[in-house]
């Protein structure tokens, strides 16, 4: 994992970047590892210990009759409030400074109720969860994933198609009125990509996460960091023109989008046309799991359509890993088989030599883990932390 530290960590924030791997070290070990004088290490550690971010403990390895203290990152010094908001439900969590959820709740909601109602519900839930005596550490920041495009620099949703009342709404300002800490907002698929990367695939530096559910979207991890593009619109896979989809209408207003032929609702419509009873994503998954051959064919074709569009992404971006998540990924191997079929047929051998295509490992917590990771990366970045400690 890249914590943003430079080769020689000189500031307290940079020294913490080293300790965030969780390994306990003595002052001597830190001095050797960084090339800094022991006196400098002592000063930096004092600053981090005063902030509670590093703790020390005696150690058995006695030197000259005095135990050499070891210093370790204290991930429970603060908590992060995180939420992954979908169209009809949200996952709300309190996480530690390794982005690990300490408590999780799942809520039913309707995103169309608008930002005041939905954010009010999140704030009430965090307040209730924070009242747990085991979770009383100071709040470091808040991270929220929303089911639509978000302008990352402002945290404002930008023309989200399924979120009436949210366009341009100042989400960070609303939350900061209750929690006076940094509030970061992003598209939920970006955060699922980040969560999958930090929790399950920390060594995969170039990764595409694809969500296949009611909509289709993707998030890109490039050189170990979330790639948002110029304003936060990167990864909008669902509205790329798909081969064989030229006259199918999409909910975005265009025709021929990938989402219009390969999303859950598009597959369900195809199954209904074949005389099957399928409306929701869950209906499609149930038919597949029951071994229905028509459903299997339809999902495999959706996988092929997704793979044809993704093949362009493989050629442009050269990922080492594609992770397929979302409700339809639970349908098993059919979707993945279709994706693989198209990508391997359409891509150059060098691009697919090391490429793996797998289903989501972080599952339904990918989004909240990513929301927490986004906040942790910000508040513990040397620039932000050094300013705070100064
Ligand atoms: Zn579209």
CA of 188 to the centre of ligand 1 (A): 18
**Closest listed residue to residue 215, CA positions, set 289, 161, 284, 270:** 161
Centre of ligand 1 from the C-alpha of residue 66, in Å: 68
Show pLDDT as tens, one digit a residue, over the chain (390 residues): 444 444 566 899 999 999 999 999 999 999 999 999 999 999 999 999 999 999 997 555 545 566 779 999 999 999 999 999 998 899 999 999 999 999 999 999 999 999 999 999 999 999 999 999 988 899 999 999 999 999 989 999 998 878 899 999 999 999 999 999 999 999 999 999 999 999 999 999 999 999 999 899 999 999 999 999 998 889 999 999 998 777 888 988 889 999 999 999 999 999 999 999 999 999 999 999 999 999 999 999 999 999 999 999 999 999 999 999 998 988 778 999 999 999 999 888 888 889 999 999 998 899 999 999 999 999 999 999 999 988
Alpha helices (runs of H) in 86-216, residue ranges in sequence order:
115-130, 171-176, 188-199
Q: Cβ(309)–Cβ(258) under 8 Å?
A: yes
Q: Are 233 and 149 in contact (CB under 8 A)?
A: yes
Decide if 306 contacts 344 (C-beta within 8 A): no
**Residues lining ligand 1 (ion), CB within 5 A?**
239, 250, 252, 254, 257
H or E segment to which residue 83 belongs: strand 79-85
Q: How far is the CA of 187 from the centre of ligand 1 (A)?
A: 17
Cβ count within 10 A of residue 8: 10
DSSP state at residue 165: T
Ligand 1 mean position, distance from CA 328 (Å): 19
Residue 248 CA, ligand 1 centroid: distance in Å:
10
Cα(192)–Cα(171) distance, rounded to whole angstroms?
A: 19
Contact 272, 299 (CB under 8 A): no
Q: How far apart are CA 386 and CA 390, in angstroms?
A: 6
Pairing of strands 139-146, 356-359: unpaired
C-alpha 162 – ligand 1 centre gap (Å) = 12
Q: From the CB of residue 148, how many other CB atoms can be counted at a distance below 10 Å?
A: 20
Total Cβ atoms within 10 A of residue 277: 10
Residue 305 CA, ligand 1 centroid: distance in Å: 14
Q: 308 — phi, psi (to 5°)?
A: -65, -40
Size of the chain in residues: 390
Spacing, Cα 238 to ligand 1 middle (Å): 6
Single pTM value for the model: 0.92
């Amino acid at each position: 994992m890249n914590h943003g530290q430079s080769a020689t960590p000189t500031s307290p924030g940079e020294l913490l970047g080293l300790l965030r791997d969780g390994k306990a070290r003595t002052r001597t070990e830190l001095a050797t590892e960084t090339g800094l004088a022991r006196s400098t290490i002592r000063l930096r550690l004092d600053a981090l210990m005063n902030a509670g971010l590093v703790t020390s403990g005696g150690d058995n390895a006695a030197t000259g009759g005095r135990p050499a203290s070891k210093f370790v990152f204290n991930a429970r010094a603060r908590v992060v409030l995180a939420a992954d908001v979908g169209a009809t439900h949200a996952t709300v969590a309190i996480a530690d400074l390794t982005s690990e959820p300490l408590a999780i709740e799942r809520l039913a909601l309707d995103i169309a109720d608008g930002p005041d109602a939905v954010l009010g519900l999140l704030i009430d839930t965090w307040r209730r969860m924070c009242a747990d005596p085991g979770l009383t550490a100071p709040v470091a920041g808040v991270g929220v994933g929303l089911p639509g495009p978000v302008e990352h620099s402002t945290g404002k949703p930008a023309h989200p198609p399924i979120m009436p009342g949210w366009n341009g709404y100042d989400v960070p300002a609303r939350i900061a009125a209750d929690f006076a800490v940094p509030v970061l907002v992003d598209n939920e698929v970006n955060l699922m990509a980040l969560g999958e990367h930090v929790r399950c695939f920390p060594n995969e530096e170039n990764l595409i996460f694809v969500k296949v559910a009611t909509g289709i979207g993707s998030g890109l991890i490039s050189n170990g960091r979330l790639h948002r593009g110029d304003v936060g619109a990167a990864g909008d896979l669902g509205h790329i023109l798909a081969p064989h989809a030229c006259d199918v209408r999409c909910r975005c207003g265009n025709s021929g989008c990938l989402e219009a032929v390969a999303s859950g609702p598009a597959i369900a419509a195809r199954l209904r046309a074949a005389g099957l009873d399928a409306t929701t994503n869950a209906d499609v998954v149930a038919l597949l799991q029951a071994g229905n051959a028509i459903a299997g064919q339809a999902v495999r074709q959706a996988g092929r359509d997704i793979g044809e569009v993704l093949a362009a992404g493989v050629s442009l971006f050269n990922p080492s890993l594609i992770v397929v998540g979302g409700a339809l990924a639970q349908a098993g191997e059919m979707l993945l088989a279709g994706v693989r079929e198209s990508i391997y047929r359409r891509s150059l051998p060098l691009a697919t030599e090391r490429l793996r295509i797998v289903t989501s490992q972080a599952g339904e917590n990918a989004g909240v883990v990513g929301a927490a990771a986004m906040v942790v990366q910000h508040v513990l970045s040397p620039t932000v932390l050094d300013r705070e400690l100064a």
